Structure 1
């Protein structure tokens, strides 16, 4: 082989190498992204059987045809800024401790079939009620729940902080962190369904898997309800 051919062969090898090398990190990145997405199976973690409800016949609370999927009657929750999600048409939603008053609807952020309290943290160990108006603007019914006692809540708070730090160190997405927290809540005994759902609904730009789970889990929680007034 003469010198010209040797030079040409060398150039061809250099061009091929330059073309292939940059592609490898991208391929690895895409593979990693596919793995991360496949590991966020929202449907799988919410397929576990929910705790028996305290509503009529053990179902979720139902008031004049409106099913409250979370919280359940008398449920204990971790969040001191609670969350409510329902199936049906509500006229008004409020949060109160004791007798409802004019301030019950303050600091309530309402989404599509769910709402969150955004005011000052509620008192630990205390019982509150989500108020619902179904027929008109008058309060039709309420769902009582209790904020977790300080010692138990602090243990869970510490676990969640450590979990979030671990996920951030892995550069986990916001949805991935919410997924990890929701999974943690559902692994508690008893499972903290309201808190897990609150994490699922905290994601601003949900993946298709999360959107599908949101639709299906509410149907599953409310499908066997019996009316209660």
Structure 2
């Protein structure tokens, strides 16, 4: 089964099971089903792009093949820009430390020792600068000074980043007035980022859910295996 078909079937089956449970309101069931379909559409678009443009496996140039796979920030044939100035790092495999540096520089701006249980890890350094290209560094051991792999990514230019920030503020205000749940807000933000092709930011919204619904939780758990096969 292809990655795309797996994700679609997972979301669809879970949505059917939930919507088939005895609940007090048919409106609630309809709302749940609509959210399942909305999440399904986002993942459908992403995995379709991945299948149409499989990433290369050259170490040091992006997503690697083998026992280590870098998931986000995305690189290679996908959109390497990120909107967030504090990106979320997601990978599969064992590493001792991750870090960030400016492209073309040897100075490490931020680093953090990690264990497999820490994945994913949010960047906690000083806000990254709009328009700059950075390298996500991956080290075998915490004590290593030379990375075994790096993934280049760019923080969106200031002007476009501000436009998106304003639009998100408006979107969140509208949702707040409508009494939207945290999941509905994350879904709306993820959908907006997906429309912009900002897939690293889509993943950041998905992983930010404190209590994701069952369909989303299962996809989150399986994303590394599906992307890194």
TM-score (norm 1): 0.73
Deviating runs (4+, > 6 A) in structure 1? none
1:36 paired to 2:36? no
* Aligned with 2:221 (options 188, 193, 215): 215
Partner of 1:79: 84
Separation in structure 2 between the aligned mates of residue 153 and residue 34 of structure 1, nearest angstrom: 36
Q: Could you say what the CA RMSD is over the residues aligned between the two structures, in angstroms?
A: 3.0
- Aligned equivalent of 1:122: 128
Q: 1:83 to 1:53 in 2, by over 3 A?
A: farther
Instruction: Determine the structure 1 residue equivalent to 2:182.
Output: 174
Matches of 1:221 and 1:60 in 2, distance apart? 13
Q: If you compute each CA radius of gyration, which structure gives the higher value, 1 or 2?
A: 1
**Please, which of 91, 99, 123 is the counterpart of residue 106 of structure 2?**
99
Matching residue within 42, 45, 48 for 2:42: 45
SS in 1 for 2:136: strand
Q: Note the C-alpha offset of 1:113.
A: 2.4
CA distance in 1, matches of 2:66, 2:164: 35
For residues 133 and 161 of structure 2, what CA distance do their matches in structure 1 show? 15
Does the CA contact (< 8 Å) of 1:64 and 1:134 recur in 2? no
Written as runs of structure 1 = structure 2, the 5 A alignment for 1:1-229 is 30-41=25-36, 42-48=39-45, 49-50=48-49, 52=53, 55-56=56-57, 61-62=63-64, 65-73=67-75, 75-97=80-102, 98-101=105-108, 104-105=110-111, 112-134=118-140, 137-138=143-144, 139-188=147-196, 191-223=197-229
Structure-2 change in CA distance of 1:174 and 1:45 (3 Å): same
CA apart distance, 1:104: 2.6
SS of the aligned residue for 1:62 comes to: coil
Q: Is the 8 A contact 2:62 2:152 kept in 1?
A: no
Q: 1:84 to 1:162 in 2, by over 3 A?
A: same
Query: Match for residue 17 of structure 2?
Result: none
CA distance in 2, matches of 1:34, 1:144: 43
Q: Which runs of 5+ in 2 are unaligned?
A: 1-22
Does the 8 A contact of 1:84 with 1:115 survive in 2?
A: yes
The Cα of 1:119 is off from its aligned counterpart by 3.0
Deviation (angstroms), 1:93: 1.4
The alpha carbon displacement at 1:29 in A equals 7.3
